Structures are given as structure tokens and as C-alpha cells.
Amino acid sequence: MCENCTTFRKGLFAHRLLIETGVDGLYGRGGVFEDVIHRFDNLITSFGGADGAEVVRFPPGMNRALFEKSGYLKSFPNLAGTIHAFNGNDKDHAALLEKLFAGEDWTYGQEATDIVLAPAACYPLYPTVAQLGALPEDGRLYDLQSYCFRREPSQDPARQQFFRMREYVRIGSPEQVTEFRQTWLDRGRELIAKLGVPFDVDVANDPFFGRAGRMLANNQRDQKLKFELLVPIESTEKPTACLSFNYHQDHFGTLWGISQHDGETAHTACVGFGMERVALALFKHHGFEVEKWPSPVRKALWG
Amino acid sequence: MKTVIRKLIEQHGRLPVAMSTLADGQDLYAAGLTSFAAVQLMLGLEEAFDVEFPERMLNRKSFSSIDAIAACIAEIAPQKAVA
């Protein structure tokens, strides 16, 4: 794809920032890399922590039945990851080992479990909010972070299959959630400016699958439902989305039956931070050695 | 053609209002057409009229009213417009 990203990836491996596993987009993280992620996490909290969001942490898996209802497979069948497991008897076990040692496909007997991998930090949230009943008058606000999975193997280190997403999710009236998104569009710019990396904010669309997806993507753009804060990492022509600002209108409210205090369907919006991508943007623009990063950047992260 | 379009909207549009109350020029999104229902409608139209909407028509505006849909079909398949 691009020569530079291969070089960048090699540098990340050489400095033990990322650790190679043999699978593109699946990496271990070194201590320094994790420290940068942790400091950036804190920086986000310094901007949003006073808003009083309820902190919720889900594991990187979600209830398969709820995932099926979420509509993710309508839009992104190619990105979803499901968890399958062995569910056989002694005879099946023997057959599995026979195939395994013969170097043949042993996975055919694996059965889908009731867990799928979370494609975004907020997917498991909405059904749990619906269970709480109608929203209070000022709506609800959540602070989420989890590893997420998207099946898109790539040599670009900024496109990983397992990555962390921090999110604030606002659920309420159209006015409440659009105001929230505007606030974060402003905060996002201010926050990334502190990190001393070049960026741009632009209208965007999700990578919806197929021709039907083309139409959904165009609709999303026409209505300016998604913005991204982009930082050049792999290339300047195609900068990487590091933050995204999404207004779902009443999509999740209708889907999960979330009502406002007056009975109207709730609207939702979220701001998502690609944790690894922001860390990578920092390493790309300031170098592999954090001690040598510009002092305003070090101050923003380490204080 | 508009009769067929109306039937398809009824079938795929999942509108909360009766089709008979909608004028040809009326905004379908304002009437409750969602993005996902618009996709189903688009696929239904392609099958019914045996056409394939080009990329430039795969947007919100093309499916925003019965008139707009009819204009798109008339443009890509003029022979179908008289049917």
C-alpha cells in the first residue's frame, strides 16, 4: 500500500512500542506505548470528566442476540467478528486432533457461541440504557472504553483489528445531543492541538458495505451526521481518522426503544477516540523516543 | 409508473402514514422514510423496473419524493417511463 507505513511499522516493532504477532493488525503493546495511551486517556478525562458521565466498561465481547438486533450485519457484514467454540464429545475431540495434526482444517466443527466481538465501545450500551426506562429530563451521558474488533487486516499500523476506543455517548433530545456533538467538535480540536500534530476536521461516512452501503454513506454525508478529526499518519493524501463525532438521530433510540422523559424517541450522539491511532500519530510526528517529544506535548500528557 | 412506485413505497418504506395521503411531490423523509428503508426501496425499485441506479443517484435526493424517483427512472430507462 505505502512504503512509509511499512517503515513506520518496522520502527514501532524495533522500539518495542508494538510487538509483532505474525498477524497484520494484531499487536502486543510495550510499556511506553501503553503509558502514552494511559496519558492520553487522562487528557480526554481532563476535558470531559466534569460533565458527570456515568463510567461503564464492557469487555470486548457482546451478547450475540443483541448484536444481531443492532443491525451491524446489515451495514458491516465484512467487519464483524464472531466467537466460535468447540462443543463436541470425545469422538469429536479425537477428530479435531486428527485434523489438527494432519494440518487440515479443524475449525469446521466449531459452533457459534452467544458472544460476538464488540465492533464499537457503545454497541453493548444502548440495550442496557433501554432497560432503565424513560430518560430523565436532562438525558443521560456515558463514558466508555473498550477494545473493539474489526476484521480489516492491514500493514498500516493505524488500521488494527483489535484496538481501543474511548467514547462519550449522549442520549436525550435532538437539541441535547447535537449540542453535545458541537461541544466535542470544539474540544476535540483543542485537545489534539495540545498534542502538536497536524489535523483537519471533515465530514465523513462509515464504510457501509456494498451498493446499498454506497447509498447509506451518501445519506450520512448529505446530512452531515459524521465528522472525523483526521491526522496524517500513513499518508498526507489519506489522513487517518483519530476522533469521530457522530449523530445517530433516532436510529438507536427507535431500535432499542429508548424514550425521552416526555415519551418522544431518544436521539443519540457519540464522540469516539481511537486510542492507538492518537498514540501512533504522536510517535509518527514526534519520533519513537518520548523523552525527545516537544516539551508542550510532554506537558500536555505527563503534566 | 407512479402507481408502481407508490406500491413499492408501501411495501418497503415502512411509513407511519397511509400512502394515499401523500402527494407525488411530498418529501418522503419528512413523512418518516428512514435511511435503511430508503435502501430497501432502492433495491425494490431496481428489481421492479429492471434497472441499476448509477452511483451518482445513490443519494438522499433521488428518493426524496415520488416525483424524484420517477425522474430518476425516466432518466436511466426512458422506455420504462411510459409504462
The residue range of the domain holding B17 is 2-81
**pLDDT interval class at A4 (50, 70, 90):** low
The C-alpha angle A33, A30, A1, rounded to 5 degrees, equals 75
CB contact under 8 A, A215 and B58: yes
Per the rule left: phi > 0, alpha: psi between -120 and 50, beta: everything else, A133 is: left
A162 domain-assigned: yes
The average pLDDT across A187-201 equals 98
Closest CB to A212 among B34, B43, B61:
B43
User: Which of A212, A222, A223 is nearest residue B39 as measured by Cβ atoms?
Assistant: A212
Residue A107 counted as domain residue: no
Q: Look up the pTM and report it.
A: 0.91
Q: Enumerate chain B positions whose Cβ falls within 8 A of a Cβ in A.
A: 34-36, 38-39, 42-43, 55, 58-61
Residue A147: give its domain's CATH number: 3.30.930.10
Residue A210 lies in a domain: yes
B60 contact residues in A (CB cutoff 8 A): 218-219, 222-223
- Choose the closest CB to A222 out of B34, B39, B59: B59
Q: Which of A120, A242, A278, A266 lies closest to A180, judged by CA?
A: A266
Q: What domain count does chain A have? A: 1
pLDDT value of position B78: 82
CATH number of the domain within which B18 lies: 1.10.1200.10
Residues of A in contact with B43 (CB under 8 A): 212
Q: Which of B28, B29, B36 to mutate to test the interface with A (most CBs of A within 10 A)?
A: B36
Q: Is A78 on the interface with B (CB under 8 A)?
A: no
User: Domain of A123?
Assistant: 3-66+119-302
Over 60: is that where the pLDDT of A5 sits? no
| Within-domain flag for A104 | no
- Gap from B20 CA to chain A (nearest CA, Å): 25
Asked if the structure places residue A72 within a domain, the reply is no
Q: In this structure, are strands A226-231 and A240-249 parallel, antiparallel, or unpaired?
A: antiparallel
3-state secondary structure A227-293: EEEEECCCCCCCCEEEEEEEEEECHHHHHHCCECCCCCECEEEEEEEEHHHHHHHHHHHHCCCHHHC
pLDDT at residue A1 in the model: 47
Q: How far apart are CA A294 and CA A288, in angstroms?
A: 12
Q: What is the pLDDT of residues A49-86, one digit of tens each?
A: 999 999 999 999 999 999 999 999 999 999 999 999 99
How does the average pLDDT of chain A come out, rounded? 96
Question: How many domains does chain B fold into?
Answer: 1
Burial of A202 per CB tally in 10 Å (0-12, 13-18, 19+): exposed
Mean pLDDT of A244-256: 96
Comparing C-alpha atoms, which of A231, A170, A229, A175 is closest to residue A202? Answer: A229
Mean pLDDT of A297-302: 98
Structure confidence by residue, pLDDT tens digits, B15-71: 988 888 999 999 999 999 988 899 999 999 999 999 999 989 999 899 999 999 999
Query: Between chain A and chain B, how many beta carbons pairs sit less than 8 Å apart?
Result: 30
CB within 8 Å: B38 and A215: yes
